[in-house]
Chain A
Amino acid sequence: MIVADRKPIQEILEMVKDYERVLILGCKGCVTVCNVGGDKEVGILASILKIARKKEGRPLEVHERTLERQCDPEYIDQVKDQVSQYDAVISMACGVGPQFLSEAYPQQRFYPAVNTTFFGGALGHGVWVERCAGCGTCLIHYFDGLCPIARCSKSLLHGPCGGSAKGKCEISKDVECIWDKIVRKKMEEGRIEDVTRIRPAKDWRTARDGGPRKSVREELVQ
């Protein structure tokens, strides 16, 4: 899923400081699963904003709604009669949401309430980790299901580097060296020769290096 974190309240308050009536739009997709922008979090943000503005003596009228997703035009369409009724709209979806909304309703101002951070999964309640860098050319099968692009600080294809010590990466004691894990796993399974293979340079054009990406599936295009 796409993982995000809510922006600091002060930053959101600054965004809406000139407004008196706003709509907070949540998303039932990834941000609901990572507990940052679903129905519940929309309610919490609305309440905090109302408390802060009441304290200032300038009450803020906040309405709440959560869309099925904010990354599909059919759901964006559902608020077409609603968005113009507000001074501004705060989106709690990932970065896709405010952009799709802005494109659909160019007259309205949309503000992101979350910082979209990475593609990842939950290790447990409240802990998410990055597992995919969306590089466009998946190689994890060469590394026993451990992605060195997303999980090595340098995205090395021939690791580990000199910064690996006791299974940790030199950037932080909290960051595991994924190459340490890859090598150990290969050794355990008797396939250490895999890591001695020279791999051709990765084609980064499929990643962000090739500019904004687009995927077209002809069989689905109408």
Chain B
Amino acid sequence: MRLNYPSSVKVIQIPCTGRVDILHLLKAIEDGADGVYVAGCLEGECHFLTGNLKAKKRVQFVKKALKEAGVEPERVEMFNLSAGEGPRFAEIAREMADRIKSLGPSPVRMKKAA
């Protein structure tokens, strides 16, 4: 399909979003990522039954933790789409990149650089 999506999005492949850990998301933010999102399968469609539902809860936990730490929770998000939805993948990447652009650089990274 040769779809384009923002080059700022770095893809990290995992076997199932159930493998995504709270610490993976937190460490990304801690190390200066402006945002992190998890692209999981559609709810109810997980090959391992509940992997994406577990990821959803972990993302919620991280959002809450970031809010408590004074960082915008919108920097972390969970999306659900099927492996056959290439255009939706590109759309989500643009949606997230736009969101991060409007939020600005991570306050964690800015202070570190200063």
User: Is A217's CB within 8 Å of the partner chain B?
Assistant: no
By size class, the interface of chain A is 10 to 19
Selected from B26, B29, B70, B112, the residue in CB contact (under 8 A) with A44 is B26
On whether the beta carbons of B22 and A55 are closer than 8 Å, the reply is: no
* CA distance in complex: A9, B63 (Å): 13
On whether the beta carbons of B30 and A54 are closer than 8 Å, the reply is: yes
A56 CB → nearest B CB, Å: 7
On whether the beta carbons of B27 and A48 are closer than 8 Å, the reply is: no
User: Is B78's CB within 8 Å of the partner chain A?
Assistant: no
Q: For the complex, count residues of B whose C-beta is within 8 A of A.
A: 17
User: Is B1's CB within 8 Å of the partner chain A?
Assistant: no
Contacts of A107 in B (CB 8 A): none
Secondary structure of the A contact surface, majority rule: helix
Secondary structure of the B contact surface, majority rule: helix
On whether the beta carbons of A9 and B69 are closer than 8 Å, the reply is: yes
A167 CB → nearest B CB, Å: 30
Contacts of A51 in B (CB 8 A): 26, 29-30, 66, 69, 71, 108
Selected from A10, A55, A57, A59, the residue in CB contact (under 8 A) with B71 is A55
User: Is A67's CB within 8 Å of the partner chain B?
Assistant: no
* CA distance in complex: A57, B66 (Å): 16
* Docked complex: A49-103 residues within 8 A CB-CB of B: 49-52, 54-57, 59
On whether the beta carbons of A59 and B69 are closer than 8 Å, the reply is: no
* Docked complex: B20-75 residues within 8 A CB-CB of A: 22-23, 26-27, 29-30, 65-66, 68-71
Chain B proximity mask over A24-64: 1 for CB below 8 Å, otherwise 0: 00000000000000001001100111111011110100000
B97 CB → nearest A CB, Å: 21
User: What are 6 inter-chain pairs, A to B, with CB distance below 8 A?
Assistant: A48-B68, A51-B26, A52-B69, A55-B69, A55-B108, A56-B111
Contacts of A56 in B (CB 8 A): 70, 111
Specify the chain A residue showing the minimal Cβ separation from B68. A9
Contacts of A40 in B (CB 8 A): 23
* CA distance in complex: A147, B22 (Å): 37
User: Is A190's CB within 8 Å of the partner chain B?
Assistant: no
On whether the beta carbons of A43 and B107 are closer than 8 Å, the reply is: no
Contacts of A43 in B (CB 8 A): 23
User: Is B114's CB within 8 Å of the partner chain A?
Assistant: yes
User: Is A124's CB within 8 Å of the partner chain B?
Assistant: no
- Given the contacts A9-B65, A47-B30, A55 and B23 also touching, CB distance less than 8 Å: no
Contacts of B23 in A (CB 8 A): 40, 43-44, 47
Further contacts, 15 of them, CB under 8 A, given A51-B71, A56-B111: A9-B65, A13-B69, A44-B23, A47-B30, A50-B30, A51-B69, A52-B69, A52-B70, A54-B30, A54-B108, A54-B111, A54-B112, A55-B69, A55-B70, A55-B108
